[in-house]
Amino acid sequence: MNIFDMTIHQLHSALKEKQLSSVEATTAMLARIKAVEPQVGSFITLTPEQALTDAASADIRIAAGKAGVLTGIPLALKDIFLTEGIRTTCGSRILENFIPPYSATSWEKLKDQGAVLLGKLNQDEFAMGSSNESSAYGITRNPWDTSCIPGGSSGGSAAAVAAGEAIATLGTDTGGSIRQPASHCGCVGLKPTYGRVSRYGVIAYASSLDQVGPLTRDVADCAIMLGAIAGHDPKDSTSVDTPVPDYTASLTTGVKGLKIGLPKEYFIAGLDPEVQVAMDAAIETYRRLGAEFVDISLPHTDYAVATYYLIATAEASSNLARYDGVRFGHRAEANCLLDMYGKSRSEGFGAEVKRRIMLGTYALSSGYYDAYYVKAQKVRTLIMNDFMAAFANVDVMLTPVAPTPAFKIGEKINDPLQMYLSDIFTIPVNLAGTCAMSLPAGFSAGGLPIGLQLIGKPFGEETLLQAGYAFEQVTEWHSRKATI
């Protein structure tokens, strides 16, 4: 088996059994990256020297018998995670030369376990996009079909896992940015409950929706990664102080008697027939495994995309105000302060980011605030209530992740509205603040992966992982490899 195709648990066993050293594994990963990166473009910044140094220290730790499950495992991070001393761009020109003086809590936790950092992954600029095409550092291609997008905004995180460029990665999900690319690239992607993972040191897009999560090759890896990064962080007031279960230990619980809801609003006429087929097959699989299905309704689903584009852009317009050229990031030459602001931001931000800053500024403006922002918050509450009411009768929900498999590069870039609609099934989960996972569940005739989404109750990640694991045991979608 290729080292670069291994899962975390496989590589961990190999390291523990001394069949392999972390330096060897890391060297193999770096070679793989060198080989396929020209076709995929997952990375913005590679850190090979750092990786080999980290791997060498991991090997010492392994030799001392002090290895954790992530010790010596080569990982990569979406370039939205601050990494001390390593450039962090967030996919934007405005942070082209930004070297952070501190690291994100989630990365600190992985590093403490001895994980090895291969580099920083490409993404839509400031996590705004569904195709990775809004990055200032070039596009990322889908490893299953390089004429297609990998999804976004954590496109690099998904493509790297699918192309064997990292054993696992971290992404962020504000409206589907982990799940949609995971679906398009055939990986497992989990968006935890809001507050489950610290946001400290993660560049903010929309603070009330952003959440950190893993992208992995299988559900067991996903459980390992989530267990490592979850938990209360005193530096993030919105992180919740709830105990972190041992996700790995309970994976094999099974789904017998599990009540799965099928929200009718997610199985609509416009759904791609191949996606529908994959969903039907998945439902059948779960039924065979002993799960029960319940038809449910989330009546305010139709308003989710509009609500999201008011709340997310409003928060973004404020979050992105700090990129003013004064203290860090890109600064344009100008003769007065106002021009400096204007030129720095106009040169530093791309079109999609500017569009969202303008939308959000408008939504918060005096005279429009009540009609847009306040109204959107009210609808958000209704959407949340939809989920809570439905969860009174079901344990999880099953839906598609995206209406279609990955689309062609350039296909939607000039049609923002079409682009926004590709997140129609993932956005409501962020608005409700609950957790959801994308699992490989089939392929299109053209060979593109199709994902299924399992939505859980708040802090119900354990159930999601159990359900995902059970599905994986009887399907082979997750073990297929992209040929690149």
Partner 1 sequence: MKYQPVIGLEVHVQLLTDTKIFCGCSTKFGAEPNSQTCPVCLGLPGALPVLNKKVVEFAIKAGLSTNCSITPRSLFARKNYFYPDLPKGYQISQFEDPICQWGWLDIKVDGEETKRIRITRIHMEEDAGKLVHGELSGPGDGSGVDLNRACTPLLEVVSEPDLRSSDEAVVYLKQLHQIVTWLGICDGNMEEGSFRCDANVSVMPAGSSTLGTRAEIKNVNSFKFVKQAIEYEIGRQIELIEDGGTVVQETRLFDPDSGTTRSMRSKEEAHDYRYFPDPDLVPLVISDQWIERSRQELPELPEQRQRRFTDDLGLTLYDAEVLTSSRALADYFEAGVAAGGNAKAIGNWIMGEITRALNDSGVSIEACPVTPGQLAELLKLIDIGTISGKIAKTVFEEMWKSGKTPQSIVEEQGLVQVSDSGAIEGIIDEIMAANAGQVEEYRGGKEKVFGFFVGQVMKASRGKANPSVVNELLLSKLKG
Contact positions with partner 1 (CB under 8 A) in 245-274:
none
- Element counts in the chain: helices (H) and strands (E): 15, 11
Which residue among 95, 167, 212, 441 contacts partner 1 (CB under 8 A)?
95
Q: Which is nearer to partner 1, 288 or 327 (CB)?
A: 327
Catalytic residue at 317?
no
Q: Which residue has the tokens 């957790």?
A: 435
Binding status of residue 237 toward partner 1 by CB under 8 A: yes
Of residues 21, 22, 42, 78, which has the active-site annotation? 78
DSSP E strands in 289-379: the ranges are: 292-296
If you write DSSP's letter for every residue of 113-168 in order, what string do you get? TT-EEEEEE--SGGG--SSSTT-TT----BTTBTTB---SSSHHHHHHHHTTS-SE
Q: Please state, in angstroms and rounded to a whole number, the distance separating the CA atoms of residues 322 and 395.
A: 41
Q: Which is nearer to partner 1, 80 or 465 (CB)?
A: 80
- The region of 43-51, 300-308, 318-326, 450-458 touching partner 1 under the rule CB under 8 A is 318-326
**Cβ atoms of 462 and 244 closer than 8 Å:** no
DSSP assignment letter at 255: -
The helix-helix angle for 304-319 and 351-364 (nearest 10°) equals 100
Binding status of residue 84 toward partner 1 by CB under 8 A: no
Which residue among 60, 99, 249, 321 contacts partner 1 (CB under 8 A)?
321
Q: Please state, in angstroms and rounded to a whole number, the distance separating the CA atoms of residues 227 and 247.
A: 6
3 state SS of 30: helix
Of residues 92, 153, 183, 438, which has the active-site annotation? 153
Binding status of residue 443 toward partner 1 by CB under 8 A: no
Binding status of residue 79 toward partner 1 by CB under 8 A: no
Q: In 3D, which of 123, 75, 80 has the Cα closest to residue 103?
A: 80
Binding status of residue 99 toward partner 1 by CB under 8 A: no
Catalytic residue at 354?
no
CB of 364 to partner 1, least distance (A): 4
Catalytic residue at 177?
yes
Of residues 177, 198, 344, 438, which has the active-site annotation? 177
Which residue among 200, 247, 309, 391 contacts partner 1 (CB under 8 A)?
200
Binding status of residue 51 toward partner 1 by CB under 8 A: no
- The region of 10-18, 217-225, 246-254, 359-367 touching partner 1 under the rule CB under 8 A is 359-367
CA angle 227, 450, 448 (to 5 degrees): 120
Binding status of residue 381 toward partner 1 by CB under 8 A: no
DSSP assignment letter at 272: -
Cα 19 from chain centre: 32
DSSP E strands in 303-447: the ranges are: 396-400, 435-443
CB of 435 to partner 1, least distance (A): 19
Which residue among 269, 327, 336, 414 contacts partner 1 (CB under 8 A)?
327
Cα-based distances in Å from 26 to 15, 63, 161, 177: 12, 17, 14, 27
**Cβ atoms of 342 and 395 closer than 8 Å:** no
CB of 370 to partner 1, least distance (A): 11
Binding status of residue 371 toward partner 1 by CB under 8 A: no
Which residue among 34, 66, 322, 408 contacts partner 1 (CB under 8 A)?
322
> Which residues of this protein are in contact with partner 1, per CB under 8 A?
82, 88, 90, 95, 98, 100-102, 104, 199-204, 206-208, 234-238, 314-315, 317-318, 320-322, 324, 326-328, 337, 341, 361, 364-366, 369, 373
**Residues designated as active site:** 78, 153, 177
